[in-house]
Amino acid sequence: MLEHVQAHAGLANGLFFSGGTANCSRCVASGSGAAGLAWERGWQGTASHLLVLHGPEGVDGVDGANDSRGHDLEPRSRPVLANATLVHANPYGARASKGAGLRLGAGTALVARDLLVTGFRGGALDAGGRAALLFAEGESRVERALLYRNGHRPLRGGIATGVDFEDRYPRLRNILWEANPDRRPEARSPALPKTLPAEGTAEGTPPGAGQYVGAFGEYENWLEEWTFFAPESDYDTLAEDDGAN
């Protein structure tokens, strides 16, 4: 299990998995030059409470693949994304207009739930070829998603039947590209859970009720005390300060 990991200002992908079943919890990819999270060749792990935060250089939030040598090669990539927030923040760079929140190809499958995607001009979810067919076959699915301002066509590849989503303003506290971001939802956000019955387990409770959509609930900002989002040049300043002390 990988916990509390941040990949910041990488020139290519932020977090990358090639095969295996590695799990990542409270992982952050910020300021990546390509995708925030990428996988290939049979990755079947999980990413829970994932934040992808793109600045001007970012392209896709997530770029998933199975295997370019054979889209149905086993084991097939089929990760689980749970409580993920993918944000492409202003300002946009030259390549950002082509970036999708999730781009799936080369036969990858995907199970995602409680997913929040906003600001990707190339669409929220874009699946091609065999990866798109897996939604129709039930191998891939997205449950409880908030998709907002992700191009003119938020879903691409004919995958609508496998995606349970709402196109609503998520009311995040801050979506700008700046230091000390706060991606928690505001009190009236549709990302927050509906009120449960007193027992919380009454028969007929809607699936997913009581769970928030995205990587953050209303109260805990788990980025505090260990993440860093300032410009890379600030590292030199911090190092000098530490040396002086």
The answer, yes or no, to whether residue 210 has pLDDT greater than 80, is no
Residue position matching structure tokens 């691409």 = 156
CA 55 to chain CA mean position, Å: 14
Interatomic CA distance for residues 219 and 69, integer angstroms: 45
Please tell me the predicted confidence (pLDDT) of residue 207: 45
pLDDT of residue 202: 41
Whole-Å CA distances, 52 to 14, 37, 58, 185, 214: 9, 7, 10, 16, 11
Rounded to two decimals, the pTM is: 0.88
The rounded mean pLDDT for the chain is 87
